[in-house]
Amino acid sequence: MTSQDPARQIRLPQLDLLRFAAAVAVTLYHYVSCYPKGADATAGIVGAVSNVTRYGYLGVDLFFMISGFVILWSSIGRDATSFVISRVSRLFPAFWFSLIFTALLIYFLHDVVPEVDVPALSLRTMLANATMVPAIFDSPLIEGVYWTLEIEMRFYALIFALLLLRQMRHVEAWIYTWLAVSIACLFFRLPWVVNYLALQPYGSFFVAGGLFYLVLAKGSSAPRIAGLVCAAAACVYVSLQQRGQFLTADDTSAIIVPALILVFFGLFALLVSRKSRRAESGVARNLGDLTYSLYLTHATMGLLLYHLLRPYLGLLPTVLAITLIAGAVAWLVTKYVDVPSRKPVTNLLSRLAALVGLRRTTPLPTQSAT
């Protein structure tokens, strides 16, 4: 795909808003529907709102769809070195800061709120987590939400392999193959390595995002529409199977969860529609930029502060307070760590790549999966 690809000439503000909505949904899922226990879980306004926010974990599924869309967008027409530089410079500085930030919170607050179960801190655990794939080193996650980053890293590895093997011109065929394997994994016992490489059980969400990008870039076609229908069916199936891990698998959730997955597909269909395209929005971009920092920092910080403040403030004021604190921390990390670090890290990695003889091409678009 050339630089004249119409999809590269625009930034979709709707994508930034979707990303921000997903991060807020996950945050409220934790703060409203997970942290209050016992009588607090059903008390007053918090209990009533929890009936809605308990579905916020599906923001992770939406993130995976966004990632499939954006990473395909930013990788077609690029080389493997440029892809790696863009991902490292975009993701790791804020991630490393959040890792240290969360570790410090655990160190200073765990003795004050010992009822919070947190991992034991050690240099080995910190270094393993710093890779975003601590499971490879048999290390616990310092921050629970990091489990999604490991899946993202496996997705990036797949895209890197396609770039390295010069297979991006055949990416649509590979996407259909991935979809077929993902569906087979749902119904047959395949070797673990197949499930691992297919990103099971979430592979169909990435596939859906990739197919929506192809619709945006090249237009709709019968195979793409058929692929999206199959991906939607697989995503609904997975969401129904997975919901018991995140909420009570009752009759209500059996209806609402698949309905929300189909809403995600509908929103993406609107997003790739030419009628829906708008000029870039500064507000949407700023909210999109906040997403990654909010996702990285909110969970353990919120849990520790919830238990610290709840006895003194009461339930509702505590939930409101930690939500405001999470927003403020996300803004600070975005403004002073995330955004300012991108260009210097990109330049540094580019110089290092040049030193070892690796070529870097035109800078990547600013859209990001996280």
- What span, in angstroms and rounded, lies between the C-alpha atoms of 210 and 68? 5
- What span, in angstroms and rounded, lies between the C-alpha atoms of 19 and 78? 24
**DSSP readout, 237-277?**
HHHHHHGGGTS---HHHHHHHHHHHHHHHHHHHHHTSGGG-
302-336: pLDDT as tens digits: 999 999 999 999 999 999 999 999 999 999 999 99
Evaluate whether residue 365 is within a structural domain: no
Report residue 25: phi and psi, to 5°.
-60, -45
Evaluate whether residue 25 is within a structural domain: yes
Angle at 126 between CA 80 and CA 332, to 5 degrees: 75
Evaluate whether residue 313 is within a structural domain: yes
> What is the distance in angstroms between the CA of the first residue and the CA of the last residue of the chain?
24
Evaluate whether residue 161 is within a structural domain: yes
In this prediction, residue 275 has a pLDDT band, given cuts at 50, 70 and 90, of low
Evaluate whether residue 360 is within a structural domain: no
Evaluate whether residue 259 is within a structural domain: yes
Tokens of 342: 């991108």
- Indicate whether 230 pLDDT > 90: yes
Residue scoring higher pLDDT (367 or 42): 42
Q: For residue 197, what are the domain limits? A: 6-355
* Tally of domains within the chain: 1
Average pLDDT of the chain to the nearest whole number = 91
Secondary structure (3-state) at 110: coil
Cα–Cα distance list, 154 to 87, 145, 188, 363 (Å): 12, 16, 22, 23
Q: Please name which of 157, 164, 110 lies closest in space to residue 132, comparing C-alpha atoms.
A: 157
- What span, in angstroms and rounded, lies between the C-alpha atoms of 343 and 346? 5
pLDDT score of 363 = 46
Name the region of 361 (left: φ>0; alpha: ψ -120 to 50; beta: rest): beta
Evaluate whether residue 275 is within a structural domain: yes
- Consecutive H or E run containing 16: helix 13-28
Evaluate whether residue 246 is within a structural domain: yes
146-177: pLDDT as tens digits: 999 999 999 999 999 999 999 999 999 999 99
- Indicate whether 269 pLDDT > 70: yes
**DSSP readout, 337-369?**
IIHHHHHHHHHHHHHHHHHTT----SPPPS---
Length of the chain: 370
The mean pLDDT value for 179-189 works out to 96
Q: Dihedral of the CA atoms 316, 296, 293, 331 (nearest 10)?
A: 30
56-114: pLDDT as tens digits: 999 999 999 999 999 999 998 889 999 999 999 999 999 999 999 999 999 999 889 98
